C-alpha cells in the first residue's frame, strides 16, 4: 500500500449541503457528483440517506450511475459513501442508498467528547464504547468498507479516544476518521493527536486508514488537515470551495494544491486532475448559491490577478516572481472556441462533451433551443455561457411551475407593475398582475398569488456569467419556508429543521432571471411539501420518531 498517496474524501454533497440555504436538488447533486468523479476524488460522500426520502433517492442515483463508464483519472469509479448515525435504522438507510455502487461505503459516527456525552448524548463512556462496537459491527456485516468517526475528537480525552477507536477496528472499521468538529484545535495539537492515534491505538495496522475532517471556525481547517497528513493521516475529508457547517470544511482546492505546489516538503500525491478544479468550483457555487469571494485562494476571481505596479512589472519579467502556481494548472485558462448563431447542434453537443456534459437527446434538444435563443441576443457564446445554460436547464427539469411570459413597467415616477404568465402543473397558463415597491417586488407578488405559496426572501444575488454588456446574468435567491418543517432531519440533532430553498435563473435580462430563480425556489418548497405529504400517507399510525428514523 502506497503510504505517500493521500485519498481525497469529498463531502460537498453531505456536509457541504448542511450550509444554511445550500440545499440541492437531486439533479444538482447528480451534476456535482459526476464533476467530482471527473476531478478524481477517491470517495464521494453522497449524502445522509436517513435525513429525508429525497436525500435517499439522490444517494441511490449517484451510487447507481456516477463513475460507471465515466472517464475518471483513476480509470475506476469513486467509492460512494452514505452517512449514518450509530443507529440500526440509519445504517440500514445508508446501505439502501449506497449498495448499488461498485465500491460502496457506510460512514457511521458517535461523539466521544465529554461535553457531547453529557449534554447531547447523555451516555456514559462505557455505553459509547458498547454502541460503537455494536453499530460498527452491524455496518460491517452489510458492507466491507466501513468508516467510523468519533465526533468532536478534537476535544475528546485522547486515552478514551484510543479505546473507542480500538473497539471500532475490532468491530470491522477500515477507515478511522478524526473530526475536529468545531474547528477548535491548532495544527500542533491536531498533528499530535493524529500521531498519538497512530502509535497508541490497539489493533492499528498499515491497512487501517486514518482520515482527518477539519472545520474552519478559527480559519485553521487546511493547516490542521495538512498537519494530520504530516503525522500519518492518509485521507483528507474536504468540500469544494470549503463549504459546510458554520464556517465550513477544509477546502478541497487548498489541500490538493498545497501538496502539489509544496511536493518536496509534503512528499505526498493525490489522484486529483487539478485542471478540473475551477470548473467544479463554479458548478458547486452555481448549484448552492454560495458565491466564492474574490480573494479566495486557488478559485477566487483575484487568485491570479495582479494590479499593483510592482507586481505587474515582476510578472512581465517572470511569472514566478508573484505566482507560485500557474492558473492553467487549476483550469483557469479560458477556452478559445467560441460558438455563435450559425453553430449547429453537433458543434454544441461536441463542445458540451468536451466540458463533461453527456446529455440525453431530450436534454440536448432543450439546451440547444436555449442556445439558439441566446445566440440571437449575444454574438459570441463562450464555454462559461454554455455551461450556465445547460446547468440551468437541468436544474429546472423538475419544475411544477415555469415562466411563460413577463411584462414589467417601472421608472422614477410610475408605480412598478408586473404582469406574469406562468405555465402550471395542469398545463394551463395562469396570469396575474401586481404592483410593488420595485419591479422585482411586483413580480414576486404576482408569482405568490398564482402559485398560492409565499416564502420569505432572504437573499437576492446577481452576477454576470461572462464579461461584456451582453453577458448572461445569473440570479440566485434564497427563500425560507414559513412552515416549521418540511420533513428534513438535521443529522446532528436528529430533529426536524426549518429549511431555506435556493433558486437559480439565467437570462440576458436579469429581471427575467430573477423571476425564474424565485419560481425555482418555490417549486422546491412545493415538491418538499408533496414528498412529506406522500410519506405521511404511506405510514399511517407511525409516530414522529419512527418516521424520522
Give me the residue spans of the domains in the chain.
Answer: 7-288, 345-395, 402-537
> pLDDT value at position 414?
73
- pLDDT, tens only, 104-138: 999 999 999 999 999 999 999 999 999 999 999 99
DSSP letter assigned to residue 416: P
pLDDT tens column, 459-516? 898 988 777 777 788 898 988 876 544 444 455 544 445 678 888 888 889 999 999 9
The predicted-structure confidence for 347-372, as pLDDT tens digits, reads as follows: 888 888 877 777 888 888 888 888 88
Residue 236 has which C-alpha cell? 483528507
Closest CA to 285 of 530, 24, 111, 6: 24
Q: What's the rounded Cα separation, in Å, for the pair 459 and 288?
A: 13
Give the model's pLDDT for residue 336.
46
Half-sphere exposure of 85 (CA within 13 A, CB side): 17
> Which value, to the nearest 10 degrees, does the dihedral of the CA atoms of residues 19, 24, 30, 36 take?
-20
Q: Is the pLDDT of residue 204 over 50?
A: yes
Segment 420-436 shows an average pLDDT of: 93
Beta strand 175-180 pairing with 209-214: parallel
Domain covering 402-537 in this structure, CATH number: 3.30.160.270
Q: How far apart are CA 321 and CA 311, in angstroms?
A: 8
Alpha carbon of 64 to those of 30, 93, 96, 100, 106: distances in Å?
11, 15, 11, 5, 15
Q: How far is CA 172 from CA 38, 86, 531, in A?
A: 30, 14, 36
On average, the pLDDT of the chain sits at 87
Average pLDDT over residues 256-260: 98
Q: For the chain, give the number of residues.
A: 549
CATH of 7-288, one of 1.10.375.10, 1.20.1250.20, 3.40.50.300, 3.20.20.70: 3.20.20.70
DSSP strand pairing (417-423 vs 429-435): antiparallel
- Identify whether the C-beta of residue 239 lies closer than 8 Å to the C-beta of residue 1: no
- Whether 7-288 shares its CATH topology with 402-537 is answered no
Amino acid at each position: 500500500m502506497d503510504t505517500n498517496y493521500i485519498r481525497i474524501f469529498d463531502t460537498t454533497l453531505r456536509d457541504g449541503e448542511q450550509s444554511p440555504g445550500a440545499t440541492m436538488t437531486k439533479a444538482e447533486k447528480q451534476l456535482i457528483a459526476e464533476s467530482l468523479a471527473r476531478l478524481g476524488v477517491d470517495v464521494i460522500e453522497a449524502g445522509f440517506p436517513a435525513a429525508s426520502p429525497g436525500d435517499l433517492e439522490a444517494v441511490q442515483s449517484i451510487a447507481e450511475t456516477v463513475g460507471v463508464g465515466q472517464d475518471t483519472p483513476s480509470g475506476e469509479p469513486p467509492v460512494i459513501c452514505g452517512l449514518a448515525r450509530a443507529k440500526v435504522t440509519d445504517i440500514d438507510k445508508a446501505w439502501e442508498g449506497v449498495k448499488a455502487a461498485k465500491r460502496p461505503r457506510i460512514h457511521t459516527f458517535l461523539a466521544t467528547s465529554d461535553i457531547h456525552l453529557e449534554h447531547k448524548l447523555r451516555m456514559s463512556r462505557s455505553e459509547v464504547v458498547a454502541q460503537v462496537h455494536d453499530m460498527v459491527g452491524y455496518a460491517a456485516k452489510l458492507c466491507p468498507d466501513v468508516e467510523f468517526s468519533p465526533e468532536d475528537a478534537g476535544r475528546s480525552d485522547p486515552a478514551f479516544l484510543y479505546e473507542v477507536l480500538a473497539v471500532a477496528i475490532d468491530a470491522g472499521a477500515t477507515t478511522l476518521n478524526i473530526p475536529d468538529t468545531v474547528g477548535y484545535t491548532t495544527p500542533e495539537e491536531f498533528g499530535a493527536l493524529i500521531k498519538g492515534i497512530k502509535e497508541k491505538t490497539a489493533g492499528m495496522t498499515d491497512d487501517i486508514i486514518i482520515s482527518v475532517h477539519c472545520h474552519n471556525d478559527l480559519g485553521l481547517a487546511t493547516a490542521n488537515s495538512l498537519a494530520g497528513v504530516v503525522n500519518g493521516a492518509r485521507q483528507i475529508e474536504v468540500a469544494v470551495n470549503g463549504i459546510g457547517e458554520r464556517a465550513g470544511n477544509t477546502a478541497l482546492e487548498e489541500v490538493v494544491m498545497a501538496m502539489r505546489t509544496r511536493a518536496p516538503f509534503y512528499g505526498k500525491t493525490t489522484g486529483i486532475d487539478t485542471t478540473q478544479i475551477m470548473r467544479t468550483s463554479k458548478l458547486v457555487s452555481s448549484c448552492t448559491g454560495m458565491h466564492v469571494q474574490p480573494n479566495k485562494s486557488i478559485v477566487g476571481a483575484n487568485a491570479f490577478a495582479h494590479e499593483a505596479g510592482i507586481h505587474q512589472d515582476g510578472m512581465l519579467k517572470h511569472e514566478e516572481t508573484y505566482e507560485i502556481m500557474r492558473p492553467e494548472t487549476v483550469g483557469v485558462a479560458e477556452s478559445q472556441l467560441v460558438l455563435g448563431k450559425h453553430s449547429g447542434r453537433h458543434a454544441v453537443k461536441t463542445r458540451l462533451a468536451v466540458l463533461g456534459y453527456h446529455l440525453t437527446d431530450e436534454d440536448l434538444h432543450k439546451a440547444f433551443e436555449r442556445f439558439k435563443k441566446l445566440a440571437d441576443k449575444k454574438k459570441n457564446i463562450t464555454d462559461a455561457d454554455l455551461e450556465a445554460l445547460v446547468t440551468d436547464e437541468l436544474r429546472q427539469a423538475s419544475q411544477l411551475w415555469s415562466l411563460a411570459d413577463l411584462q414589467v413597467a417601472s421608472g422614477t415616477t410610475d408605480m412598478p407593475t408586473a404582469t406574469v404568465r406562468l405555465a402550471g402543473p395542469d398545463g394551463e397558463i395562469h396570469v396575474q398582475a401586481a404592483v410593488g415597491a420595485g419591479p422585482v417586488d411586483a413580480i414576486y407578488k404576482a408569482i405568490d398569488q398564482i402559485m398560492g405559496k409565499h416564502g420569505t426572501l432572504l437573499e437576492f444575488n446577481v452576477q454576470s456569467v461572462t464579461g461584456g454588456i451582453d453577458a448572461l446574468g445569473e440570479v440566485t435567491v434564497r427563500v425560507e419556508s414559513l412552515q416549521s418543517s418540511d420533513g428534513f432531519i438535521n443529522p446532528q440533532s436528529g430533529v426536524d429543521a426549518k429549511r431555506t430553498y435556493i433558486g437559480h435563473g439565467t437570462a440576458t435580462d436579469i429581471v427575467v432571471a430573477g423571476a425564474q430563480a424565485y419560481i425555482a425556489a418555490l417549486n422546491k418548497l412545493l415538491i418538499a411539501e408533496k414528498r412529506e405529504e406522500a410519506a405521511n400517507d404511506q405510514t399511517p399510525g407511525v409516530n414522529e420518531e419512527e418516521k424520522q428514523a
